[in-house]
């Protein structure tokens, strides 16, 4: 019985991975970044929380001011008036006096989530009915706004673009590309295909009235992660989340192994805390469990287990590299090894999320259990 169960698990994981690859390949194909502005284009507000200077701050900030869209405002939020990013922002904004731009400083502590606290003043300041919350390290292409708008349907409360890693300058940045691009983004598209799309905090465009009906941005303090809270707010109103057809890049540059692990372990801990039933199946993520169960059942039936592992891993990873090619994502000679390293990290991060109840964000240590208690009190 155990060999049959083991073989069934292996086959199930392989099929689910291949199906998700097909789903993403059909929706997310590389195209020119020249999406036209829609007729009667609505005015749009963009909130960008900033904190400190990052590797690509100059480029990501500058991109905010050169969008190919007729009417939009930029609302930058910084917690501290002494943050060095303010000087950079001032220098860039002076080059584009025609762009409606405002900088807001200060911290409105409504939750245990520092990023959400930083965004409160921005949400209360915006002028328009469509509002984008965009992380500081997301790189906006010229057709950024119209790409977000194009994903809206009649029942849509929010459109989302997950981050797509680009421009890695060392091996660990390639590993992060392997995590972000053909793994996390792929499962996001898979979830959307079966009607359970999740918000993803990197780029989120709200119909402002939806969140305002729930009490405004303070409603997102109901969870430790603002994207998880967004998902729950939207589902409570019977509305949907949709993903863009071509996600936006996040240039990575140099990454350290510890930095990559800590970031994605943090996200795993937050997923476990906010959507525990959806987190449980993550034990099957990547090729590790498929290879393990495939090797065991192969050995039982008299076949070479090592050969089974090689075939399973090669099948799944070849599919991912073809997907990266179709979507126009980063891929080079380091990617096969990066995919292997990622698939060894995934089960470790799953166990980590089960055992560890804290994370560090911009130097601040946050305990998830204490944050939940804070949320329940407030």
Instruction: Measure the CA–CA gap between 19 and 142, rounded to whole angstroms.
Output: 32
Same structural domain, 198 and 300? no
- pLDDT tens for each residue of 207-251: 999 999 999 999 999 988 999 999 999 999 999 999 999 999 999
Residue 373 forms part of a structural domain: no
Checking if the pLDDT of 121 tops 60, the result is yes
Residue 263 forms part of a structural domain: no
- Mean pLDDT in the chain? 93
- pLDDT tens for each residue of 315-368: 999 999 999 999 999 999 999 999 999 999 999 999 999 998 877 766 667 777
Checking if the pLDDT of 102 tops 70, the result is yes
- What SS3 class is residue 6? helix
What are the residues whose beta carbons fall under 8 Å from the beta carbon of 63, sequence distance 6 or more? 139, 140, 141, 144
- What SS3 class is residue 73? strand
Tokens of 177: 């590309």
Beta bridge pairs of residue 178? none
Same structural domain, 174 and 280? no
Overall average pLDDT of the 179-195 stretch: 95
What are the residues whose beta carbons fall under 8 Å from the beta carbon of 279, sequence distance 6 or more? 268, 271, 272, 353
Domain count for the chain: 2
> What is the per-residue pLDDT for 342?
98
- pLDDT tens for each residue of 251-296: 999 999 999 999 999 999 999 999 999 999 999 999 999 999 999 9
Same structural domain, 178 and 281? no
β 364-367/358-361 pair status: antiparallel
- What SS3 class is residue 103? strand
What percentage of the chain reaches a pLDDT higher than 70? 96
Tokens of 156: 């849509």
Instruction: Measure the CA–CA gap between 13 and 108, rounded to whole angstroms.
Output: 44
DSSP conformation letters of 227-286: HHHHHHHHHHTT-EEEE-SSPPEEEEE---HHHHHHHHHHHHHHHHHH-HHHHGGGGG-S
Same structural domain, 51 and 171? yes
Residue 259 forms part of a structural domain: no
Question: Largest Cα–Cα distance of the chain, in whole Å?
Answer: 73
Residue 292 forms part of a structural domain: yes
Higher pLDDT, 114 or 339: 339
Same structural domain, 309 and 288? yes
Q: Which of 220, 254, 288 is the last residue of a domain?
A: 254
Torsion sign (Cα): 238, 239, 241, 245: positive
Same structural domain, 113 and 171? yes
Overall average pLDDT of the 111-122 stretch: 92
Q: Which domain holds residue 211?
A: 32-254
Residue 49 forms part of a structural domain: yes
Cα separation values, 25 from 73, 105, 154, 198, 336, Å:
33, 42, 24, 19, 19
Tokens of 329: 């994502």
> What is the per-residue pLDDT for 367?
75
Overall average pLDDT of the 287-307 stretch: 93
Q: What is the CATH number of the domain that holds 42?
A: 3.90.550.10
Same structural domain, 242 and 283? no
Nearest of 275, 246, 358, 300 to residue 5 by alpha carbon? 300
Same structural domain, 276 and 183? no
> What is the per-residue pLDDT for 372?
59
152-191 b/e with 16+ CB inside 10 Å = b? beeebbbbbbbbbbbebeeebbbbbbbbbbbbbbbbbbbb
- pLDDT tens for each residue of 122-162: 999 999 999 999 999 999 999 999 999 999 988 999 999 99
Checking if the pLDDT of 305 tops 80, the result is yes
End-to-end CA gap in the chain: 51
Q: Is residue 159 within 8 Å of 243, Cβ to Cβ? A: yes
Same structural domain, 167 and 314? no
Residue 331 forms part of a structural domain: yes
Same structural domain, 177 and 317? no
Q: What's the Rg (C-alpha) of the chain?
A: 21
Residue 216 forms part of a structural domain: yes
Beta bridge pairs of residue 204? 133, 160
Give me the count of residues in the chain: 378
Say which residue the tokens 């905010």 belong to.
64
Same structural domain, 283 and 189? no
Residue 64 forms part of a structural domain: yes
- What SS3 class is residue 360? strand
Q: Which of 254, 280, 301 is the last residue of a domain?
A: 254
> What is the per-residue pLDDT for 190?
95
Checking if the pLDDT of 43 tops 70, the result is yes
Same structural domain, 151 and 281? no
């Amino acid at each position: 019985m155990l060999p049959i169960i083991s073989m069934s698990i292996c086959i199930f994981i392989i099929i689910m991975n291949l199906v998700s690859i097909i789903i993403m390949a059909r929706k997310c194909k590389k195209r020119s970044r020249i999406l036209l502005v829609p007729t009667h284009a609505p005015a749009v507000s963009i909130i960008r929380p900033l904190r400190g200077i990052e590797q690509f701050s100059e480029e990501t900030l500058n991109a905010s001011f050169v969008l190919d869209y007729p009417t939009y405002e930029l609302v930058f939020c910084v917690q501290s008036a002494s943050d060095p990013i303010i000087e950079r922002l001032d220098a860039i904004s002076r080059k584009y006096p025609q762009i409606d731009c405002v900088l807001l400083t200060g911290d409105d502590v409504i939750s245990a989530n520092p990023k959400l606290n930083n965004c409160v003043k921005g949400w209360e300041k915006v002028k328009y009915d469509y509002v984008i919350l965009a992380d500081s390290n997301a790189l906006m292409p010229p057709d950024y706004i119209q790409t977000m708008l194009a994903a809206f349907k009649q029942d849509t409360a929010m459109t989302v673009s997950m981050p797509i890693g680009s421009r890695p300058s060392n091996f660990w940045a390639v590993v992060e590309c392997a995590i972000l691009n053909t793994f996390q983004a792929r499962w996001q598209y898979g979830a959307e295909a079966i009607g359970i799309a999740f918000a993803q905090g990197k780029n989120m465009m709200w119909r402002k009235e939806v969140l305002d009906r729930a009490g405004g941005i303070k409603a997102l303090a109901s969870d430790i992660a603002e994207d998880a809270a967004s998902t729950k707010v939207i589902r409570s109103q019977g509305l949907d989340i949709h993903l863009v057809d071509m996600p936006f890049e996040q240039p990575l540059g140099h990454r350290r192994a510890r930095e990559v692990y800590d970031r994605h372990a943090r996200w795993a801990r937050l997923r476990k805390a906010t959507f525990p039933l959806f987190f449980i199946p993550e034990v099957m993520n990547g090729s590790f469990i498929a290879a393990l169960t495939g090797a065991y059942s192969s050995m039982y039936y008299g076949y070479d287990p090592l050969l089974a592992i090689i075939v399973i891993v090669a099948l799944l990873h070849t599919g991912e590299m073809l997907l990266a090619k179709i979507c126009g994502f980063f891929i080079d000679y380091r990617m096969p090894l990066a995919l292997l390293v990622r698939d060894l990290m995934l089960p470790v991060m799953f166990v980590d999320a089960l055992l560890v109840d804290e994370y560090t964000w911009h130097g601040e240590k946050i305990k998830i259990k204490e944050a939940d208690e804070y949320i329940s009190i407030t």
